[in-house]
Chains A and B, each alone.
Chain A
């Protein structure tokens, strides 16, 4: 074999000889085209969002620090249009995945109202459905199906082309198959508002669409029927003229049935549309469009001349007038018609030549119109050729399609063994914005124009409403293990404002003398935020801090979270306060740092179920146990002893118990053969024990990397984790709790995640931000990876680690 020098020369010569001289021009051209439709991301920059405070301020005599506060400020987003501007460019849109509990699903329908957005998610290939709600379309919360007596309640009537639901100032209203009417103030908690069995008018036909108009609410449906109601509790059949059957020019049977498919509102004018359906051997087929208008929703009149329109799919009322979309015959879609008044119609445009798009939907704001559809759809997944399409029009007459290839890159298709494309199912308008529902790579998604989060829509709060009551009283810290006692009193001030006083009989930062912190805070949901606490040593000396700026500066926006289920306060994730007089539960809801040093055999606590009855314990370095409230333990994972031969940064780290205490997810290796820093994976196991299943395998390298710190979102629906090599190339991922829809939210391409080690990962108490601790710094970002900021660079010790 050649000498080292000769060998080096051989390799160098070989590479020089085999290297191409020029990049093919098509590569640069294609890249240039793709960048034209790609949005630049907001850069990482310093901002104090979550921040670090030396833990010694509150409890102990070490230099360890703990994250104590979450001030959740959304960063401004680039490339979005001014409010009210028609979103005609890809930069004006952004995609947001919605979690579902299925492997493949889509957003079946969407409802927008003053209180937010309601999406109905459907599993592909089954009839399972679930609701999800959002204030702004960017953060979504799944609504448990136990809100309804059976999941089947969520099924709309099979003939409905759009979701028979409406958003009003009072909340949301949803008409289930069979015409039972369900209502919710917040989208999360639902009650049956009208019972078909008790209302004869509701039994006259199937409600297919609902709108806010007339006396309050109007509905249209099958068999030429329409209804009206003031608040959804009592419905009355409206007067609808008999169908002008003599005008029908084609049909299978002698007398077609009439379905009123939809209704739209423009000022005081209501326009309803539908089709005359002829029933033949092949099922119902539309033969003629039918249109109605009404001034009050109580009585309707037919539009006498519908010769200008074809079979109707959807109609929207916008700034210039009404726009209808549909087709002219079997297999034909993509036609557009326009009307100034809803009565006289004329052809306006077509979306596509040749094979038209499917599932067309249209909506309007004051700025114009948006229509959506999809091409290349197929009946069975995967549908790699499925393409979502968005068209915009300022006047309803002339339309242009958005160049939107990159817009649909909201999920990583490489995570799916069978990649599907994207498709849109519907579009709605919310204030001055459009929200498109659909699927990308067979996962639910919405695409949003503009910045709906900045509207003045009231916030949906699925958790406790803003009420200082839970915070009021006297609290004792469970984390003060320096011999002193920390006591906090919270007293009402005005409205949602409270006065807070925290005393510490032995304060390390005051050289062991006592201290007092005072402040005025405001309650926001389940959070108490104290913008400017004033911390003083009682002997008049200056409080000292091991790192960073002065203490009072570090304490700004100190935030406590109240957990109604356990009646506890927590500061970030490390410090728990019990109401005075409450016995310390076993195990404690969160560990003190002393508790992190286990007695022989007791293990290291890694987390608790939200009700505090189960804790996850790690013993003997690796093995994981569930400790129950009675002190008994269940072995859930016996880790291979081979782990011990891997150095620290090469070893998998982290385990988490789900908030409901039913599952454990832990980092491990698929094989202990071969090199370190490879073969990492996440595993899931029942808290009752049993075999662990691989949930996700590392994608950091060709042989995988090391997965670290799986952590459940506070609502238990998602898991965040880090992937990477031992010391480089780290990225952050989020997946559904069942392992589906894993997607990277922070790329290893991002500069700060180069040469470093990952020390921890955690969700914010509200679940909308994630913190990542690496060497010398902590970064925080929204749960979708956007708006990343670096916190103060202080020494950091993650809860659960020895520092």
Chain B
């Protein structure tokens, strides 16, 4: 059924494409939001990815790979939005926060630190983190989705996690700002 929708959409059937977009919209929006951490940029990325998907659909040779291919378009659209994000991020100075211990505020502090550590990653690194830790894809699946070699996917994931850990550790060493 889904394959039929993809084939119909690739032959110009707008209603079929609308149905595909509706069925994957929530998933790709979540990916875009998690990568970009900004709803307006995520909305733009999803919209751009869907329009590109429509235009490029005739080039998709295997209809069964539509979902994975759409993820790639979303990630690429996020990378482009990320250039705006980068400029924006450079204007935001993150205040260091102490990593608290032993009470209910720990999770909030960790969240903040994760947010900051993630914010320092490049969009390409964020993408593999989201696809792995949120969507549950393995490195080889991420490689196929993004159209990159598996080794590249593994190294991006490795360096992303290392970078986040390093950022968190650096934050933890900072003094508390009054």
Interface: A15 (CB within 8 A): yes
Return the chain B residue nearest A34 by Cβ: B51
Chain B residues near A754: list those with CB within 8 A: 72, 146-148
User: Is B22 within 8 A of A28, CB to CB?
Assistant: yes
Shortest beta-carbon distance from A730 to chain B in Å = 10
Specify which of B46, B54, B80 lies most central, judged by the most chain A CB atoms within 10 Å of its CB.
B54
Return the chain A residue nearest B87 by Cβ: A702
Interface: B94 (CB within 8 A): no
Contact with A along B36-59 (1 / 0, CB 8 A): 000100110011001110111111
Shortest beta-carbon distance from A727 to chain B in Å = 5
Interface residue count for B (Cβ, 8 Å)? 61
The 8 Å CB contact of A702, one of B52, B83, B130, is B83
Chain B residues near A10: list those with CB within 8 A: 110, 114
User: Is A1 within 8 A of B59, CB to CB?
Assistant: no
The 8 Å CB contact of B149, one of A11, A38, A727, is A727
Interface: B6 (CB within 8 A): no
User: Is A749 within 8 A of B56, CB to CB?
Assistant: yes
Shortest beta-carbon distance from A378 to chain B in Å = 25
Given the contacts A727-B148, A728-B152, A20 and B17 also touching, CB distance less than 8 Å: no
User: Is B79 within 8 A of A749, CB to CB?
Assistant: no
The 8 Å CB contact of B114, one of A14, A27, A41, A728, is A14
User: Is A42 within 8 A of B58, CB to CB?
Assistant: yes
User: Is A35 within 8 A of B54, CB to CB?
Assistant: yes
Q: How far is the CA of A15 from the CA of B61 in the complex (A)?
A: 32
User: Is A755 within 8 A of B148, CB to CB?
Assistant: yes
Q: How far is the CA of A26 from the CA of B17 in the complex (A)?
A: 16
Interface residue count for A (Cβ, 8 Å)? 54
Q: How far is the CA of A754 from the CA of B73 in the complex (A)?
A: 12
Interface: B119 (CB within 8 A): no
Return the chain B residue nearest A703 by Cβ: B122
Chain A residues near B51: list those with CB within 8 A: 31, 34-35, 38, 406
Return the chain A residue nearest B57 by Cβ: A40
User: Is B79 within 8 A of A19, CB to CB?
Assistant: no
Q: How far is the CA of A24 from the CA of B10 in the complex (A)?
A: 25
User: Is A727 within 8 A of B123, CB to CB?
Assistant: no
Chain B residues near A753: list those with CB within 8 A: 147
User: Is B172 within 8 A of A1, CB to CB?
Assistant: yes
Interface: B18 (CB within 8 A): yes
Interface: A750 (CB within 8 A): yes
Chain A residues near B10: list those with CB within 8 A: 40, 43
User: Is B83 within 8 A of A20, CB to CB?
Assistant: no
Q: How far is the CA of A18 from the CA of B172 in the complex (A)?
A: 22
Interface: B34 (CB within 8 A): yes
The 8 Å CB contact of B25, one of A19, A23, A38, is A23
Interface residues of B in 68-114 (CB under 8 A from A): 69, 72-73, 76, 79-80, 82-83, 86, 110-111, 114
Q: How far is the CA of A403 from the CA of B42 in the complex (A)?
A: 26
Contact with A along B127-159 (1 / 0, CB 8 A): 001100110000000010011110010000000
Q: How far is the CA of A10 from the CA of B82 in the complex (A)?
A: 24
Interface: A671 (CB within 8 A): no
Chain A residues near B168: list those with CB within 8 A: 1
User: Is A729 within 8 A of B33, CB to CB?
Assistant: no
Contact with B along A549-574 (1 / 0, CB 8 A): 00000000000000000000000000
Chain B residues near A21: list those with CB within 8 A: 26, 30
Given the contacts A23-B29, A39-B55, A44-B59, A15 and B130 also touching, CB distance less than 8 Å: yes
Q: How far is the CA of A23 from the CA of B24 in the complex (A)?
A: 9
User: Is A32 within 8 A of B110, CB to CB?
Assistant: no
Shortest beta-carbon distance from A586 to chain B in Å = 44
Chain B residues near A31: list those with CB within 8 A: 21, 46-47, 50-51
Shortest beta-carbon distance from B148 to chain A in Å = 4
User: Is A22 within 8 A of B26, CB to CB?
Assistant: yes
Interface: B67 (CB within 8 A): no
Chain A residues near B146: list those with CB within 8 A: 728, 754
User: Is A12 within 8 A of B14, CB to CB?
Assistant: no
Q: How far is the CA of A35 from the CA of B114 in the complex (A)?
A: 37
Q: How far is the CA of A495 from the CA of B167 in the complex (A)?
A: 76
Chain B residues near A701: list those with CB within 8 A: 79, 122-124
Specify which of A17, A20, A27 lies most central, judged by the most chain B CB atoms within 10 Å of its CB.
A27
The 8 Å CB contact of B18, one of A32, A42, A750, is A32
Q: How far is the CA of A31 from the CA of B56 in the complex (A)?
A: 14
Q: How far is the CA of A753 from the CA of B59 in the complex (A)?
A: 12
Interface residues of A in 743-771 (CB under 8 A from B): 747-751, 753-755
Shortest beta-carbon distance from A94 to chain B in Å = 13
User: Is A748 within 8 A of B17, CB to CB?
Assistant: no
User: Is A38 within 8 A of B26, CB to CB?
Assistant: no
User: Is A40 within 8 A of B134, CB to CB?
Assistant: no
Specify which of B57, B59, B82, B122 lies most central, judged by the most chain A CB atoms within 10 Å of its CB.
B59
Given the contacts A28-B22, A31-B46, A38-B51, A15 and B34 also touching, CB distance less than 8 Å: yes
The 8 Å CB contact of B58, one of A38, A40, A727, is A40
Chain A residues near B130: list those with CB within 8 A: 15
Given the contacts A727-B149, A749-B72, A38 and B61 also touching, CB distance less than 8 Å: no
Interface: B5 (CB within 8 A): no
Given the contacts A40-B12, A41-B58, A702-B79, A27 and B43 also touching, CB distance less than 8 Å: yes
Given the contacts A35-B51, A701-B124, A41 and B59 also touching, CB distance less than 8 Å: yes
Interface: A30 (CB within 8 A): yes
Shortest beta-carbon distance from A645 to chain B in Å = 18
User: Is B133 within 8 A of A702, CB to CB?
Assistant: no
Chain B residues near A7: list those with CB within 8 A: 161, 165
Return the chain B residue nearest A9 by Cβ: B133
Q: How far is the CA of A620 from the CA of B170 in the complex (A)?
A: 42
Interface: A36 (CB within 8 A): yes
Specify which of A41, A44, A702 lies most central, judged by the most chain B CB atoms within 10 Å of its CB.
A702
Interface: A715 (CB within 8 A): no
Contact with B along A367-386 (1 / 0, CB 8 A): 00000000000000000000
Chain B residues near A729: list those with CB within 8 A: 76, 147-148
Interface residues of A in 319-348 (CB under 8 A from B): none
Chain A residues near B165: list those with CB within 8 A: 1, 7
Interface: A638 (CB within 8 A): no
Q: How far is the CA of A21 from the CA of B26 in the complex (A)?
A: 7
Given the contacts A15-B134, A19-B134, A23-B26, A38 and B76 also touching, CB distance less than 8 Å: no
Chain A residues near B30: list those with CB within 8 A: 19-21
Chain A residues near B152: list those with CB within 8 A: 725-728, 755
Shortest beta-carbon distance from A227 to chain B in Å = 50
Q: How far is the CA of A24 from the CA of B152 in the complex (A)?
A: 33
Interface: A16 (CB within 8 A): yes
Interface: B169 (CB within 8 A): yes
Chain B residues near A751: list those with CB within 8 A: 59-61, 69, 147
Q: How far is the CA of A30 from the CA of B50 in the complex (A)?
A: 10
Interface: A82 (CB within 8 A): no
Interface: A8 (CB within 8 A): yes
Q: How far is the CA of A18 from the CA of B28 in the complex (A)?
A: 14
User: Is A43 within 8 A of B59, CB to CB?
Assistant: yes
Chain A residues near B76: list those with CB within 8 A: 729, 748-749
- A15-B129, A20-B39 given; name 9 further pairs at CB < 8 Å: A19-B33, A23-B25, A28-B22, A34-B50, A41-B58, A43-B58, A701-B79, A701-B124, A725-B148
Q: Could you write out 24 A-B pairs with CB less than 8 Å apart? A: A7-B165, A11-B164, A17-B111, A19-B30, A22-B26, A23-B26, A23-B46, A24-B39, A27-B43, A31-B51, A32-B21, A34-B50, A35-B17, A39-B55, A40-B10, A41-B56, A43-B59, A702-B79, A703-B122, A728-B147, A728-B148, A728-B149, A754-B147, A755-B152
The 4 tightest CB contacts between A and B, nearest first, are: A754-B147, A23-B29, A43-B58, A31-B50
